[in-house]
A and B are shown apart, each in its own frame.
Chain A
Amino acid sequence: EDKVVQSPLSLVVHEGDTVTLNCSYEVTNFRSLLWYKQEKKAPTFLFMLTSSGIEKKSGRLSSILDKKELFSILNITATQTGDSAVYLCAAYMEYGNKLVFGAGTILRVKS
């Protein structure tokens, strides 16, 4: 059965801290790994990772994929209260044309 597992389930940090969110996956015909940020409603696209070992960066956020060990991490440096959200990772399956999501990591950043 295809599955994506995220850890930790929840995390509370203080502003300025650096956090690392983990995502491991076991899916058939894996194509790419996507990260989303979900606040109140729509998951907002952050990164799409297809190649192993190549870091993608956007401001204070960065992510990398390890296709040998089947995991990805999302790093957030100098956290702000606006980073508080649920972070979802999803594996995209090549022939299934669908995303398999993990349960998410709830991040709360305290001021």
Chain B
Amino acid sequence: DAGVTQSPTHLIKTRGQQVTLRCSPKSGHDTVSWYQQALGQGPQFIFQYYEEEERQRGNFPDRFSGHQFPNYSSELNVNALLLGDSALYLCASSLKLRHSGLSGAQHFGDGTRLSIL
């Protein structure tokens, strides 16, 4: 049973560039959430995708955007990169419980380590 997979593992960019990170959810999951984890801190919620739409968004600027595909995989795009965007980007998947509207426990991928020079 494949867990959550993310690519690439590491990425080095320079200020002003754009980046795309990819995530495939755990088999059977339909909801994908993205988090940013700076060094020494807990993950911070960026946004969540369900049924190919952004459902919730955290306190992140419009430079952060995303997409979910029909196969439930997802991309995170960041434009005009800043030094402060250097972090571990985590993708988490879960199964939305349709009757309750709730999501089950979120399972995380290994993340993409993004470094901005």
Contact = CB atoms under 8 A, between A and B. Distances in A.
Contact of A41 (B45, B50, B111): B111
A88 B108 contact: no
B42 interface: yes
Chain A interface extent, by class: 20 to 34
B30 to A, nearest CB: 12
B56 A104 contact: no
A102 B109 contact: no
Contacts of A96: 56
B111 A98 contact: no
Interface string B63-93: 0000000000000000000000000101010
A44 B4 CA distance: 11
A44 to B, nearest CB: 8
Contact residues of A: prevailing secondary structure: strand
Interface residues of B, number: 28
A25 interface: no
Nearest to A100: B45
Interface string A72-111: 0000000000000000101010101111111110000000
A45 B58 contact: no
Contact residues of B: prevailing secondary structure: strand
B45 A99 contact: yes
A61 interface: no
A34 B108 contact: no
A31 interface: yes
5 contacts: A88-B43, A97-B50, A97-B55, A97-B56, A102-B42
What 9 pairs between A and B have smallest CB-CB spacing?
A101-B42, A41-B110, A98-B45, A42-B108, A42-B110, A48-B105, A43-B108, A97-B56, A103-B42
Interface of A: 4, 31, 34, 36, 41-45, 48, 88, 90, 92, 94, 96-104
